[in-house]
Amino acid sequence: MFFGALLMMLLIISINKKVEEKKELPKEGMRYVKMKKNKTPPKAKPKPKPKRHKRKAPPKAPLPNLGAALSGLEMNIPELATDNMLGDASKVLGDLDKDTIMNENTVDVKPKVVSRGPLEYPKSALRKHIKGYVIVNLLIGEDGSVEIAKVLDSSPAGVFDSAALNGVRSWRFSPAQYKGKAVKIWAKQKIRFDFD
């Protein structure tokens, strides 16, 4: 350790030692290189190749029927019985479809406005002649009533939000339908506030 410290001190002293004479290095003559531009005519752009149409992948083969594959085997092992696997999917899922909430892309018939309550134009916005809009996400029930209303976007922000929410809660819709049954659905509605 002592030897390392001594070596470091010697290196520091030798590096910081003053140079008494400055040696001048001989200057070599500068070299100049003359560059010439080749004047070649511009190349003609090749014609684009025609685009190839992508082939659609062949449809996937249906999954094998496990009942047919295992029908000739009898193992008498209750844990490996295939009866429960091949059952009806509605029995497995139960009443899950009753609680399912659809969106506008998944239903067969979209909801339509049947009646609209009046929207109250905010007095401060009316005095200042402010126009705008509010985009509201609505949960429309199976009976066509608005169960939940949330603001997604508005311009100007916060000016018309409460007026739009208060107004759309009283609206009635024809219910959305999926496979002939009325279903709950999330739907977007844009409400404009203008002076017309």
Judge if pTM exceeds 0.75.
no
Task: Quote the mean pLDDT of the chain.
Answer: 76
Q: What SS3 state is found at 26?
A: coil
> Range with the lowest mean pLDDT among 35-49, 66-80, 119-133, 169-183?
66-80
* CATH number of 103's domain: 3.30.2420.10
Provide mean pLDDT across the span 87-95.
Answer: 51
* pLDDT surpasses 90 at 153: yes
Q: Which H or E run contains 164?
A: helix 161-168
Torsion angle defined by CA atoms of residues 15, 21, 23 and 24, in that order, rounded to the nearest 10 degrees:
130
| Cβ atoms of residues 119 and 191 within 8 Å | yes
Categorize the per-residue pLDDT at 104 as very low, low, confident or very high, splitting at 50, 70 and 90. Answer: confident
pLDDT greater at residue 86 or residue 179: 179
Q: Please indicate, yes or no, if residue 183 is contained in any of the structural domains.
A: yes
Report the range of poorest mean pLDDT among 25-34, 60-69, 101-110, 121-130. 60-69
Whole-angstrom distance, CA of residue 196 vs CA of residue 184: 33
Number of domains forming the structure of the chain = 1
Mean pLDDT of 143-171: 92
Residue 127: inside a domain: yes
**What is the span of the domain harbouring residue 146?**
98-193
Domain contains 73: no
Residue 69 has pLDDT above 50, yes or no: no
50 inside domain = no
